[in-house]
Structure 1
Amino acid sequence: MQTPARTGTANASRLAGLALLLVGLAYPFVVYVGLEQLSPRLFALLLGALWLARLCSGKQTPLSNTVAATALLFCLLLGLADEPALLRWYPVLISLALLGLFAGSLYSGMPIIERLARLSEPELPPAAVRYTRQVTWVWVGYFIVNAGIASALALWAPLSWWTLYTGLIAYLLMGLLFAGEWLIRQRVRNVT
């Protein structure tokens, strides 16, 4: 049975995680609309507060601590520099963090996709385990390409292009990858 303190910590962790997810989804549009009215320091303060709340709440893993510390360093740099161009690098940072998470899982322990698959099917057959490893590699490739495109747009494209890609196209591509993987998984499942 969880104590009230543990329940409160778990709820705080979930709330901070949800807030970071929502901010991450809205971030490109907030930058696009708010860049003229809000200083990069304010962005850094708000984003940093969310990451700090996430870091201080609940049970953390070394990887989640590393991601949060990296995001906090980014916020510190953004706050000190107060440079609007740095705002465009946050999606690159998140892609690189996810790349590290997925790639790291291939070399230490169980790949991320296998962990997710085992939530609904704890006893995976060997063919499914191989398949989940391959899918994890596909996600690694996606995050490499996504970080590359977001970097190029941050460096050379107009803000509107950067916003369109990081706020819409990247998520559509991610959705297509999820859907395509789901369709292939159904076919693989029916063959085995």
Structure 2
Amino acid sequence: MRWGLVVVLTAAYPLLVYLGLGRFEPRWLALLLAALAVARALASPRRDPFWWWAAAAALLLAATTALINQAMPLKVYPVVVNLGLLLLFGASLRHPPTVVERIARLTEPDLDAAGVRYTRCVTQVWCGFFVLNGSLALFTACWGDDKLWALYNGLIAYLLMGSLMGGEWLVRRKVRAAQKATP
């Protein structure tokens, strides 16, 4: 339950920042980023070190925001998230099993060689997604207004992520059907 609440609040971060920027100085919104980062690290399953690194990066952005009282570090947070996920997924390509393979093995512990190759390809696709999404997040932070930043990072990025997940699920079904059809 705790983890679910933290995930919902984290997903709502762009909207909360957007609404808060009209009412509070950025340094006060830095407290939101710091609190979410620490809560996510504390509530993470198995206290994964990734979340502590993510919290450290978020705390650095929050401290910068508090120090300069500007919104830019708050708006860069989605870029940092994408960079962190790119590093995590990319490192798993160099040091298998990949992130996607580990997730797949939760439901399919006896994943065959074809499944491992497929999960490797999916991990590469996600790396591409994080590059594109992080670049667009950076563009909206640097050159977009607050409304565009919140719209992209608080809605469009999630729709793109969901589309990628849904598209991958459809491709996986076709790949599995093709594998079952060939002897």
Q: Unpaired runs of 5+ in structure 1?
A: 1-13
Count the aligned residue pairs: 178
In 1, are the aligned partners of 2:34 and 2:58 still within 8 Å (CA)? yes
- SS of equivalent to 2:110: coil
Superposition TM-score, scaled by structure 2 size: 0.89
> Structure 1: how far apart are the matches of 2:14 and 2:32?
15
Match of 1:25 among 8, 11, 14: 11
Q: 1:55 to 1:29 in 2, by over 3 A?
A: closer
Task: Check if 1:129 corresponds to 2:119.
Answer: no
In 2, are the aligned partners of 1:20 and 1:51 still within 8 Å (CA)? no
Match of 1:64 among 51, 74, 77: 51
- SS of equivalent to 2:66: helix
Which residue identity does 1:116 align to in structure 2?
A: I
Match of 2:154 among 167, 175, 179: 167
Which residue is equivalent to 1:52? 38
Task: Check if 1:156 corresponds to 2:146.
Answer: no
Deviates more, 1:103-112 or 1:48-57: 48-57
Which residue identity does 1:31 align to in structure 2?
A: V
| Seq. identity, % | 44
Match of 2:65 among 78, 97, 109: 78
> Structure 2: how far apart are the matches of 1:128 and 1:94?
28
Superposition TM-score, scaled by structure 1 size: 0.85
In 1, are the aligned partners of 2:14 and 2:150 still within 8 Å (CA)? yes
Deviates more, 1:153-162 or 1:113-122: 153-162
Q: Say what the alpha-carbon RMSD is for the aligned residues.
A: 1.7
Quote the offset at 1:156 in angstroms.
0.9
Structure 1 outlier segments of 4+, above 6 Å: none
Match of 1:143 among 130, 148, 166: 130
> Structure 1: how far apart are the matches of 2:172 and 2:6?
30
> Structure 1: how far apart are the matches of 2:150 and 2:41?
28
Q: 1:98 to 1:153 in 2, by over 3 A?
A: same
Quote the offset at 1:24 in angstroms.
2.3
Which residue identity does 1:52 align to in structure 2?
A: V
- SS of equivalent to 2:12: helix
In 2, are the aligned partners of 1:51 and 1:68 still within 8 Å (CA)? yes
